[in-house]
Structure 1
Amino acid sequence: MGEQDRVLVGEIGAAQGLKGEVRLRSYTQAPADIAGYGPLEDESGARSIEIERVRVTPKAVIARIKGVTTREAAEALTRTKLYLPRAKMPAAEAPGADEWYVADLVGLKAVSPQGDEIGTVVAIHNFGASDIVEVSSAAGGENLLVAFTETTVPEVDIEGGRLVLVPPEELAE
């Protein structure tokens, strides 16, 4: 199964407590939904990871992984990325809807409204307020971090392999 056939849905963080629970970084819209997809895969695709139970607290998403009953076993999973086969992902709500999976955006060319290449999307971040698109600059130098809004990203063309990026004026020099 190729990388495009799977979607990154979360990552296991630190162990929580002594009975094998883990903190979980969920990339699903509602954090608890990560437990509803059935078995997930690790980065290699060789290991199946099943979330038995999840609870969302004000500070973290806490999960119990099937077969993990000790703190040591939980610690061994720290930083494991969790993938779901794309075929098991729900489809966008409506054709043409402004919904994409982060996996579909990473790797797109970022171009100006005039069509000039700005760089390549390397990540989408969310630090609590809103999504941020990170673009590696085609001209070299530091990556650009731009709020992912309708104003700054007015067009996303997955099939065409690009998105239009309108950087803030101070960066557009």
Structure 2
Amino acid sequence: MSERICVGAIAGAFGVKGEVRLKSFTSTPEDIADYAPLETEDGAMEFDVTVERVINNGLAARLTGIKTKEQADALKGVRLFVPRDRLPALPDDEFYHADLLGLPVFDTGGTQIGHVKAVHDHGAGDLLEIHGPGLKSTVLLPFTREAVPTVDLVAGRIIADPPEGLF
């Protein structure tokens, strides 16, 4: 499991006074400020966050040390991380996306069908993007209890019972 979790990304400047457009990956977007200070991926920069308001496609936020539009624009695309131990523990049937990435996926017969390349959420529920040597292209597997009955983080594997014809 990753020691740091990506909780957001800066999508660029918002306005001319140093605010940023912040995309939050937390379950309640405004809660991203509760996990501050947030670090850049390389750990070179650290920010406290003040959420000003909810805007289309994200949050308008202030980051410590960012005072101008140019400074905010320079951060476009920067992902923000927190140490894993700063995040709350999850119930048994919930997972951080970062914990699923790279896990091998086996069918109910024990045959490996691939590994998790990405986790997508397009609004109707999570999808696991499965990639593997026997697949011509990646496959999107619904991340439901029916299609994915077992996620074993301790053993580092996922057991899938995909809908007929998906693989």
Q: Would you say same fold, with TM above 0.5? A: yes
For residue 165 of structure 1, the aligned residue among 148, 160, 165 is 160
| Kept after mapping to 2: 8 A contact 1:134/1:143 | yes
Question: What amino acid sits opposite 1:5 in the alignment?
Answer: E
Q: C-alpha separation between the residues in 1 aligned to 2:49 and 2:66? A: 10
Between the two proteins, the alignment pairs up a number of residues equal to 167
Question: What amino acid sits opposite 2:38 in the alignment?
Answer: L
Q: C-alpha separation between the residues in 2 aligned to 1:171 and 1:21? A: 45
Question: What amino acid sits opposite 2:42 in the alignment?
Answer: S
What TM-score, normalized to structure 2? Answer: 0.92
1:46 CA drift (Å): 2.0
What RMSD over aligned residues (CA atoms) do the two structures have, in Å?
Answer: 1.6
1:3-152 correspondence to structure 2 within 5 Å: 4-93=2-91, 97-152=92-147
| Kept after mapping to 2: 8 A contact 1:117/1:138 | no
Q: C-alpha separation between the residues in 2 aligned to 1:129 and 1:69? A: 38
What TM-score, normalized to structure 1? Answer: 0.89
Q: C-alpha separation between the residues in 2 aligned to 1:162 and 1:90? A: 22
Aligned to 2:2, the other structure's residue is in SS state helix
Which ranges of structure 2 fall in alignment gaps of 5 or more residues?
none
| Kept after mapping to 1: 8 A contact 2:24/2:58 | no
1:32-67 Cα shifts (integer Å, max 9, x gaps)? 111111201111122112212242235422211111
Q: C-alpha separation between the residues in 2 aligned to 1:152 and 1:54? A: 40
Question: What amino acid sits opposite 1:50 in the alignment?
Answer: D
| Kept after mapping to 2: 8 A contact 1:102/1:124 | yes
